[in-house]
Amino acid sequence: MKISALLDNLTPRRVDGPPDTEITGLYHDSRQVLPGGAFFALRGALTDGHRFIDDALARGASAVFMEEKRPLPDGVVGVLLDDARQAMGRVAAAFYGNPTAGIPVAGVTGTNGKTTITYLLESILNVAGRRPAVIGTINYRFGVTQIPAPHTTPESTDLFRTIADFRRQGAGALVMEVSSHALDQHRVEEVRFSVGIFTNLTPEHLDYHQDMEGYFATKRRLLTDLLESAGGRAVINIDDEYGRRIASELPGSLTCGRDEKARVRPLEMTVSLRGIEGMVDTPVGSFHLKSPLLGTFNLQNLLCAAGAAVAMDIPLEVISEGLAGAPQVPGRMERIENDRDALILVDYAHTGDALEKVLSTLQDLSPRRIITVFGCGGDRDRGKRPVMGEVAARFSDLTVLTSDNPRSEDPLAILEEIRMGVRRICERELTRKEALAGEEKGFVIIPDRREAISFAVEALHPGELLLVAGKGHEDYQIIGRERRHFDDREELRRALTRGERKP
């Protein structure tokens, strides 16, 4: 595609170089540039893409989009802009043929529940024969194609290329998680959303957004800016206070939740160890809901998915079948089979609110004892560490503090900040022998995550419940700058194989 065609929707400050230059690819990482490609020099929190312009040129870049003018060789197009990242989204959409046009596109945003809702919607759309592709935290997928997900929502060049590939393979719908970073960094500006779903908002990413109002303002843009401009419909969980705020601004939205004012709400519902079952009322009638998912927070996810399907004019019988047949979501209250007569779960809960929702749900199941293993990531929001510690101690009989992804931080320093919150509820730090006896409420600290999981399995008795939280589907652990293979589910199965069943 010629550079002149890619500049149609932009207002650059200056363009130098031949307008008929043919562009063969788009890149924001200079190491990936191929001859004939356009390089976008993006400013980030840690690096400035302008430093890598020479590298991009050495690899054959034919055009450079930049915010600060740099000398370029003859024949290379220089595009000077106020915001290179925003321009990248517009250029990427045009370069890949606006692949979100002409198909239903559902975007899911909020702190918790996004991944589960994408799986539920994917199942509904499959039953409806819509052939959905999914962009999300676990992977980017369509049919047999599965691409590992380095980010919940990829950079716009990767996003539109991936969607275009899925469209060529036959995708007839798109469901995607929309992160706050993606909204703030203009990655999804050119996506034509037909439905936008808001799940909830709790403290997360405050190291990036600074405070909850900034975080909220970013999240709401999906519904108030991008969705509105595309003529789509908002689906909002009004059990959440921030959801109620957005719904008050968007009177045409389709509200959902247990709130009696919600337009998609349960008429009667049973939430048990077997799952969730009952009747759901919608503006177009009611349907029978049956799902193996656990907990009232998953009821909210089911209602959001149902609301989105109603907004896409999918018949209620299809919605009912799709929700009932949705697969287990990897790392989201994922059960680990065992012969201990115990319930063992792996969950991605990595905020105080998410952990509280999971543990309060599990407490309602009345197990003999709850054992929780968790840690907090390094180089991330430190404020949530004592909060998560307090939550875990409140709901758990035995709390095992361990490492998550410590990254560049000292794992022991992270654990000490978590311990501060634990001690607000439980002063008793147990010896391992005391913890294994299972007679006292308390906590232990085992920095090595593999060892912590193995110890928790050893401490587990029949009728008890073990939750390993924080990493969920992740199959790695980042220690320093090293990324090592590590999967909580694999470690649990190994520990169960090594141990003997307790009497």
* pLDDT 10s digits, 434-491: 999 999 999 999 999 999 999 999 999 999 999 999 999 999 999 999 999 999 999 9
The percentage of residues in the chain with a pLDDT greater than 70, rounded to a whole number, is 97
CB–CB of 491/399 below 8 Å?
A: no
Give dist(CA 253, CA 235) in Å, integer. Answer: 6
The CA-based diameter of the chain, rounded to the nearest angstrom, is 79
pLDDT at 56 over 60: yes
Which CATH number, 3.50.40.10, 3.40.50.620, 3.90.190.20, 3.40.50.2000, labels domain 334-498? Answer: 3.90.190.20
CATH for the stretch 105-324: 3.40.1190.10
Q: How far is CA 431 from the centre of its chain?
A: 36
Tokens of 69: 């003018």
Q: What secondary structure does DSSP assign to 191-215, as a single string?
A: ---SEEEE----S--HHHH-SHHHH
Of 16-30, 227-241, 356-370, the range with the highest mean pLDDT is: 16-30
Identity of residue 50: H
The pLDDT of 114-129, averaged and rounded, is 97
CATH for the stretch 3-95: 3.40.1390.10
Are 3-95 and 105-324 equal in CATH topology? no
The pLDDT of 348-376, averaged and rounded, is 93
Give dist(CA 358, CA 338) in Å, integer. Answer: 20
What confidence tier does 502 reach under pLDDT thresholds 50, 70, 90?
very low
What confidence tier does 273 reach under pLDDT thresholds 50, 70, 90?
confident
pLDDT at 155 over 60: yes
pLDDT at 346 over 50: yes
Q: Which residues neighbour 337 within 8 Å (Cβ) at sequence distance 6 or greater?
A: none
Q: Supply the pTM of this predicted model.
A: 0.86
pLDDT at 8 over 50: yes
Q: What is the pLDDT of residue 152?
A: 84
Q: What is the pLDDT of residue 231?
A: 81
What average pLDDT does the chain have?
94
Give dist(CA 267, CA 287) in Å, integer. Answer: 10
pLDDT at 324 over 60: yes
Smallest Cα–Cα separation from 405: which of 491, 490, 484, 493? 484
Angle between helices 241-249 and 212-221 (to 10 degrees): 50
If one compares 203 and 103, the residue with the highest pLDDT of the two is 103
Q: Is 313 helix (H, G, I), strand (E, B) or coil?
A: coil
If one compares 499 and 283, the residue with the highest pLDDT of the two is 283
Tokens of 268: 């009667």
Q: How far is CA 122 from the centre of its chain?
A: 15
The pLDDT of 123-150, averaged and rounded, is 95
pLDDT at 388 over 50: yes
Angle 121-126-128 from CA coordinates, rounded to 5°:
95
pLDDT at 9 over 70: yes
Smallest Cα–Cα separation from 62: which of 37, 88, 45? 37
Each domain of the chain, given as residue ranges in start order, spans: 3-95, 105-324, 334-498
Q: What secondary structure does DSSP assign to 343-399, as a single string?
A: EEEEE---SHHHHHHHHHHHHHT--S-EEEEE---TTS-TTHHHHHHHHHHHH-SEE
DSSP collapsed to 3 states, 81-120? CCCHHHHHHHHHHHHCCCCCCCCCEEEEECCCCHHHHHHH
If one compares 287 and 181, the residue with the highest pLDDT of the two is 287
What confidence tier does 230 reach under pLDDT thresholds 50, 70, 90?
confident
What confidence tier does 204 reach under pLDDT thresholds 50, 70, 90?
low
Q: What is the pLDDT of residue 501?
A: 46
Q: CA-CA distances (angstroms) from residue 303 to 319, 354, 432, 467?
A: 11, 18, 43, 25
